[in-house]
Structure 1
Amino acid sequence: MRTPALVLSAALLAVAAPAAPPAHASPPGGALRWGPCPAAEKELVAAGAECGQLAVPLDWSVPDGRTIRIAVSRVKAKDSAHRRGVLLSNPGGPGGVGLANTLALKPALKDVADRYDLIGFDPRFLGASTPVDCGPAPAPAEPRRRTTPRRDFDDGIARHRATAERCFAHGDNAALLPHASTRNVARDMDAIRAALGERRLSYYGVSYGADLGAVYAQLFPGQVDRLVVDSSTDPDATQYELFRRAGRPLEAGLDEWAAWTARRDSTYRLGRTAPAVRATVERLLEGAERRPVPVAGTRLGAPLIRLFLRQFVQRQEDDAALARTVRTLVDAADGRKVRPDPELAGMLAFLNSPEGEASFTGGAVFMCGDGGWPAGGWPGRPETYWRNIDRSRAAEPVFGPLVNDMTAPCPFWRTAPREPGTRIANSVPVLMLQAVRDNNVPYEGALALHRKLRGSRLVSADIRSHGVYGRGAEGHTPVPCADRAVNDYLRGGPLPARDLTCPGGKR
């Protein structure tokens, strides 16, 4: 499962609105007490799942202190004769909720799903777990008719500063936020394992969820059964460094898309050659940096257009959607009346919804709470970001201003991380997956983690995608050999004898 639309994996984060906790909460330190799942979790209800809440320490260094609650779901294994244990998962973000995520993996898992209790959970401070709520976001300001890159940058800095102030001023957040970290989520996962009475757990995580899995293996190597991490990052880099490193792969992905679009010039009319298509995109952005593009009652400046481009260019199946969107934006910039296609219309509707602004702040809870990898590491001075943006334009004219920007309000966060980033070095058996042309978390980062995880095997897929496993179940082109490797391993087989490279399959 990938993170949802407009949650740009490592770039933009969303947190679900807090849900009412079920009444069947466990006492501190007790076993999980199961009951019906909330009616809003329709997939879980339909699957006959059980839900409960587990009390865990707010501060794991004070285990007898204040507790918070972690929302957990369970779909029991159907094949009791071949049951392996429990399978947890995380959908990415950070900021993605996961109460129904492991259940959603069933179509990809096939018969393997019957051998595990499928355990979902909302990480601390998200979803139905003890929530962090930054309060209602102010109504967005009316977009300017004319602007400049510096003005757009300064507007973003002001929003981040206001978000940080609002988050710490709201409710009990000042006490909660210092304890938002990936290491604490991993500790909560191990508390779930213990509460379920299991000696070890199995796990699948994608994107940030992959990094979370690696952190769990480092902190709890003896409790790992089968660990699968899909689309991971370099454990020696900070979050901001990882964002910046995505610039060149994103530009390469745009070139790949431009070549695809040029071969269909009769349909999209964006250019007969790849350089011509790219030039069309760059002209669109240059114009939007001065005069935002009017579409469906709103005006889209260059920062938002770059955001949309990034969302589509991540996955090769979205080439047509990206071409349609660029065609619409070019026409709108030229003063023509346009009707957005469903993909663009959905993004615009989200941006103009009451939840829009608030949803982009939730992942900052972990982006800013971690002391380093898999998040954290943000420069403190706004001018550092502006200087990096300016320097990036020559080599990365489309995505450099996006990936070098201050993406999260962390420089204005009022609390410092309690722990450093996690240093990875172990020989725990891990199955790793990575798309060779992933332009969200570049392939080189997975290679770096692979070297640190000395017991790992890497399955590489020659595709442009963020996430490899279970693509067919999501309606995308599958990578059968990667799916087989995961399912064979989770079924109980050994890791592949050597690293594998899978073809991308037909499009």
Structure 2
Amino acid sequence: MRVVSTLTAGLGLAGLLAGTVAAAAPPDVPKETRQTLSWDRCPADQKELNEAGAQCAKITVPLDYADPGGRTIQLAISRVKARSPERRGILLSNPGGPGGTGLAHTLALRPTLKDAADHYDLIGFDPRFLGESTPLTCGPAPRPAPPPPTTTPRADFEASVRAARDTARRCHEHGDNATLLPHASTRNVARDMDAIRAALGERELSYYGVSYGADLGAVYTQLFPRRADRVVLDSSTDPAATQYELFQRSGAPAEAALGSRVRADVRALLERAERHPIPVEGQRLNAPLLRMIFKQLVQHEEYDAQLASVVADLKKAAAGEDIEPGPALAGLLALLSSPELADSMVGGALFMCGDGGWPAGGWPKNPETYWKNMRRSHATQPVFGPYVNSMIAPCAFWESAPREPGTKIGNAVPVLLLQARHDNNVPYEGALALHRRLTGSRLLTADIRAHGVYGRGNDGLTSVPCADRAVNTYLRDGTLPAADLTCPKPEDHS
């Protein structure tokens, strides 16, 4: 189960770019020269990299690319050298989020890449302010108070507003964050990617990005079209929409994905939890938490059995039974209280709030906007409408204004786009919108309900063989499909 990445995306931290204003051409990497890098073993916690014989290093980049002689930060990168004498170049990747670290991500693609991996140095990197790349943290969060025994939808909403406002305050006031935060943006991560290319002495880079990583890749093609070699963008969004708009658009396909078998039970559980949170294992699950759990479980067809198991457990708990949660519910409960999820949410906020437009990232500043949209959505999307419309990001209260507008996408760089037709995290229409703007692209559609198409077998999900083959052929031989195509639906979802 892609637990952290997909749950984080379900929380509204998917790859969502804001703004449609064209900007002046960005500054390129200053002094296009190769840096002298000190390669060494990777950090001890990067077991897979060290076992693969990878090397790690730090490169230096400007904090502000508009001031290349000013303050600098360091980016952590990894390298697994190409195996083939017919080396193509370097392949970078990003796992999404935003907020996902990626030092080992490109290496993790190797089982699916197969022989295509042999032609590239596999380069992983942690985006700026994450992981080992000049990490930025917010002030410590107070221990969350459990939901009270009784509540109302308005009380739950007000609690989410307080939490978002507090996160914004803690992030802005902590350490040197007020100086750093304005430079946490997708445009700067794309520039950092180009700085990695330059530091390694390469003329071009190839790239695979999924979810937010796909949107990052689209920005790279816009800023550095002559540096983009073979680019694969998996599960992308409409580049003309704001983050909040994209989040709202995920409600309808999620509602459709719920299915008739569990819909009545899910609605009954939510109606109960909106007044009386459901006690499970010493925790109380209010309606927002239940919607968050259900949103995770409708993202992949393979999760349907887990959804049924979770609903069965919750029905027993709602009836007053003292239950021991099954593996699916137990895992989600542990994740909801884990520092790993909290860290990924903060990392996501950095880039959601730093991408163009004001309010930060296009999030409405008035909480009543969210409340009204939430109430309005209930009629047609009773399960997920209140969730996707009421999710108020810390960006609504962000004190650091983005330094630049969003990136207007429109170029002819050859790109392979992948999209699941029934993706309810980043809906299919977003990929169609990006496809129209990337006039040199080919769109490969997988007729499945999923978030992420390439390399699904690596995560224990049903692979899409024709998609895997198309990506590998493109990365190995440079051959895009002759036209857009649809991969047949895999028969096995075990």
Q: Does the C-alpha gap of structure 1 residues 8 and 352 become closer, same or farther in structure 2, counting only changes over 3 Å? A: closer
Larger RCO (alpha carbons 8 Å, 6+ apart)? 2
Partner of 1:189: 193
Q: Once the 2 structures are TM-superposed, how far is the Cα of residue 40 of structure 1 from its aligned partner?
A: 0.6
What do the CA deviations read for 1:86-138 (whole angstroms, capped 9, x no partner)?
00000000000000000000111011111100000000000000011003211
Alignment match, 1:4: 4
Segments of 4+ moved more than 6 angstroms: none
Of 414, 434, 446, which aligns to 2:419? 434
1:65 aligned counterpart, secondary structure: coil
Partner residue of 1:366 out of 348, 351, 364: 351
Q: For residue 38 of structure 1, report the CA deviation from its aligned partner.
A: 0.6
Q: Is the 8 A contact 1:87 1:204 kept in 2?
A: yes
**Cα distance in 1, alignment partners of residues 42 and 158 from structure 2:** 44
Please name the residue that 1:203 is paired with. 207
Cα distance in structure 2, aligned partners of 1:136 and 1:60: 30
Deviations 1:383-409 (A, max 9, x none): 000000000000000000111123420
Is the Cα contact below 8 Å between 1:73 and 1:100 reproduced in 2? Answer: yes
Q: 1:45 to 1:136 in 2, by over 3 A?
A: same
Q: Which residue of 2 aligns with 1:243?
A: 247
Does 1:494 find its partner at 2:479? yes
Shift of the alpha carbon at 1:340?
1.1
Q: Among 102, 106, 115, which residue is 1:111 paired with?
A: 115
Matched, 1:64 2:69: yes
Pair 1:351 & 2:336 matched: yes
Q: Is the 8 A contact 2:230 2:478 kept in 1?
A: no
Query: Quick check: 1:298 aligned with 2:283?
Result: yes
- Say whether the 8 Å CA contact 1:124–1:180 is kept in structure 2: yes
* Mapped pair 1:90 → 2:94: yes
SS at match of 2:445: strand
Aligned residues of 1:51 and 1:73 also touching (Cα < 8 A): yes
Alignment partner of 1:176: what SS? Answer: helix
Alignment of 1:143-162 (within 5 A): 143-162=147-166
- In structure 1, how many angstroms separate the alpha carbons of the residues matched to 2:420 and 2:6? 21
Q: TM-score, normalised by structure 2?
A: 0.93
Q: Is the 8 A contact 1:6 1:347 kept in 2?
A: no
**Shift of the alpha carbon at 1:372?**
5.0
Contact 1:136 1:358 in 2 (8 A): no
% identical equivalent positions: 66
Aligned AA for 2:35? G
Give the SS at the match of 2:347.
coil
- Number of equivalences: 473
Could you tell me which of 37, 41, 50 is aligned with 2:42? 37
Using structure 1 for the length normalisation, give the TM-score.
0.91
Q: Provide the rounded CA distance (Å) in 2 between the counterparts of 1:324 and 1:381.
A: 38
Alignment of 1:45-444 (within 5 A): 45-79=50-84, 81-255=85-259, 258=260, 262=261, 277-354=262-339, 357-371=342-356, 376-444=361-429
- Paired residues of 2:13 and 2:352 also in contact (CA < 8 A): no
Report the residue type matching 2:43 in the other structure: P
1:38-78 Cα offsets, whole Å, 9 max, x none, are 11100101111000111100001000100001110000001
The one-letter code matched in structure 1 to 2:209 is: G
Partner of 1:25: none
Contact 1:386 1:405 (8 Å CA) reproduced: yes
Alignment-derived partner of residue 20 in structure 1:
none
**2:78 and 2:125 in contact (8 A); partners too:** yes
For the 8 Å contact 1:11–1:407, the answer to whether it is kept is: no
Q: Distance in 2 between matches of 1:284 and 1:162?
A: 29
Between the aligned partners of 1:237 and 1:407, the Cα distance in structure 2 is 17
Mapped contact 1:87–1:201 kept (Cα < 8 A):
yes
For residues 88 and 356 of structure 1, do their structure 2 counterparts lie closer, same or farther at Cα, with a shift above 3 Å needed? closer
Following the alignment from structure 2 to structure 1, what is the Cα–Cα distance between the partners of residues 294 and 240?
Answer: 28
Q: Distance in 2 between matches of 1:165 and 1:108?
A: 42
Map Cα deviations across residues 249-275 of structure 1 (whole Å, 9 max, x no partner).
0001112xx3xxx4xxxxxxxxxxxxx
Contact 2:10 2:295 in 1 (8 A): no
Q: Any gaps of 5 or more consecutive residues in structure 1?
A: 15-27, 263-276
In 1: Cα distance, 2:178 partner to 2:301 partner: 42
SS in 1 for 2:11: coil
**Per-residue CA distance 1:280-326 (angstroms, 9 max, x = gap):** 11111010000000001100000000000000100000000011001
RMSD: 1.7
Match of 2:446 in 1: 461
